[in-house]
Copies of this chain bind each other. A is one copy, B any other.
Amino acid sequence: MRIDDQFIQSHNDKTLPAHRESFAHLKQRLESKNVEVATLIEKIKKFQIAIPSWALGTGGTRFGRFPGGGEPRSLEEKIEDVGLLHALNKASGAISLHIPWDIPADADAIKAHAASHGLLFDAMNSNTFQNQPGQSHSYKFGSLCHTDKAVRDQAIAHNKEVIHYGKQLGSNSLTVWLADGSSFPGQMNFRKALQRTLMSLQEIYADLPDDWKMFVEYKPYEPYFYHTVIQDWGTSHLLARELGDKAFTLVDLGHHLPNTNIEQIVSTLMWQGKLGGFHFNDSKFGDDDLTVGALKPYQLFLIFNELVEGMENEEGNNPAPAWMIDASHNLKDPLEDLLQSVEAIQLAYAQALLIDRDALEQAREKNDAGLAQEIMQDAYRTDVRPMVAEARRQAGASLLPVQAYRDAQVRKNLIKERGSKTLSTGL
C-alpha cells in the first residue's frame, strides 16, 4: 500500500481553514516576540528521524506477545511501511536495519525500492544478543566480552558483515548495542570483560570505512540483571575515546537508572564532541520502550533544549547526531505509534527552538532561577502544533498524520494485503 499526494492533499483540505487560522494566530504572537517563524519551520522540515526496521511489528514481553495483523513479512514490506510513515509526515526519511533480520538479497534493488519511497539507510545494527539458527557459538554468556575467543571472533565477524551490508546500501554508521553482562555477583570479571570488549570493538573499528561512524550504546541492565559491560555513558565514553575519532556514544532514553538527568549527559557528550546518536522512546519504570513523549514530555523538551544548544553552539564540534526512534509496540498499532512518536519529537524540537536563548543566558548569568523557569516554560507551554503542522504541510505531508492514517484505513489494507497472522521479525 502507498499513500499518494492526492490523498494527503484532499485530507489536508478538510482542516486547512482551521489550520490557517491557528497558524496565523501563533505566527503573529511569536513574531511579536521577534521569533523568526519561517526559519524555525525550515529547521523542523529538515529534521528527519529514522525508523528502525524492528519497530514495525508488534513487540512483546517475556510474558507474551499479542500480535496485531498486517505486519511486514520482508525487508521490502518494512521499507513500504516506513514509506507510508514518510508519506504522512515527511519526517521519517530513513530506515535503520538490523542484521541478520534484514539482510538484503539484492542490495541495489533494495536501494531503489527505498529511494522510490524517499528513504535513506540510517545506522546499521548488529545483533549479538540472540542465537541464530545454525550459529556455531552461543551468546548465552556474552559476545564481544566473552571469555572464549571463538565467540568473540564470531561476534566480531558478524559486525564486520553488518558493515559490509551497510556499505552496499549507502549507510554510513554502525550502532553496537551490546547486551553483554552478567546476572550474578561473581559471575564475570568486570575488568577483563571490559578489556575484552574494548579489544573486540577495536577489531571492528579497524574495519570501519573512513566516512563511517561507530555508535557505542550503553544500558544499565536487561537482558542481564546484575551487571552490563557498558553500563552507563561514562563507560561508553571511555570506550569511544579509546577507539578513536569515528567512535561516539549513543544515548537511548530508556537506558538509564531511575531519576537520571539525561539532558545533562547530552550536554556533556556534546561538549566533548562525542554524542553520536539518539534513540528516542519513553518509559516510566525501566526500558519500557513506549511511545516518545507518552510519559515524560517535559523531559523530552529539556533534552531537546540541550540538543539545540549543542547543535547551535559555535564552539562545539559535535557532528550532527543520528536520530532514531527505538520503541517496542505491544499494544498500539506500530505505525500509528511511530507517527505519534515522530510528532512528539517534532513538538519538543519546536518548543526548544522557541526558547529565548539570549534572555535565558542573561537570567542564568544573574542566577535568576525564577526567570529562567519562566523562559523555559513559556516555550514549553506554547501550543506549537500549528507550526509543526505548517512545516509538514509545506513539505507535502499531512497536517494531521495520525488522523490521516486512520482515515486511510492503512491497517485494514495491510491486513488485507498481508494477512492477519503475520509476524514481523524483531523484539
Contacts and interface: CB of A to CB of B under 8 A. Distances in A.
A21 B28 CA distance: 11
19 contacts: A63-B427, A64-B223, A66-B140, A140-B367, A183-B369, A185-B373, A186-B305, A187-B331, A187-B364, A190-B268, A194-B267, A220-B285, A225-B285, A225-B288, A226-B295, A259-B285, A261-B284, A286-B286, A331-B369
Interface string A279-305: 000011110101101111110001001
B226 A179 contact: no
Contact of A259 (B140, B257, B263, B268): B257
B370 A337 contact: yes
Contacts of A306: 190
A254 to B, nearest CB: 10
Contact of A298 (B189, B297, B369): B297
Nearest to A187: B369
Nearest to A195: B271
Contact of A268 (B21, B235, B364): B235
A127 B310 CA distance: 32
A374 interface: yes
Contact of A222 (B61, B189, B226, B363): B61
A383 interface: yes
A365 B61 CA distance: 24
Nearest to A405: B370
A14 interface: no
| Identical chains bound together, number | 4
A358 to B, nearest CB: 13
Contacts of A380: 297
Contacts of A66: 131, 138-140
Contacts of A372: 184, 186-187
Nearest to A380: B297
B147 A367 contact: yes
A194 B266 CA distance: 13
A253 B129 CA distance: 28
Interface of A: 18, 21-22, 25, 29, 32, 59-64, 66, 129-131, 138-141, 147, 179, 182-192, 194-195, 220-223, 225-227, 231-235, 237-238, 257-261, 263-264, 267-268, 270-272, 283-286, 288, 290-291, 293-298, 302, 305-306, 309-310, 313, 328, 330-333, 336-337, 340, 347, 360-361, 363-367, 369-370, 372-377, 380-383, 385, 402, 427
Contacts of A360: 186
Contacts of A221: 259, 284-286, 288
B62 A185 contact: no
Given A131-B66, A195-B271, A184 B331 contact: yes
Identify which of A29, A190, A227 gathers the most chain B CB atoms within 10 Å of its CB.
A190
Nearest to A372: B186
A66 B141 CA distance: 9
Identify which of A191, A260, A298, A363 gathers the most chain B CB atoms within 10 Å of its CB.
A191
A288 B259 CA distance: 12
A403 to B, nearest CB: 9
A191 B270 contact: yes
Contact of A184 (B138, B147, B294, B305): B294
Contacts of A385: 381
B147 A231 contact: no
Nearest to A190: B267
Contacts of A366: 147
A186 B221 CA distance: 28
B332 A370 contact: yes
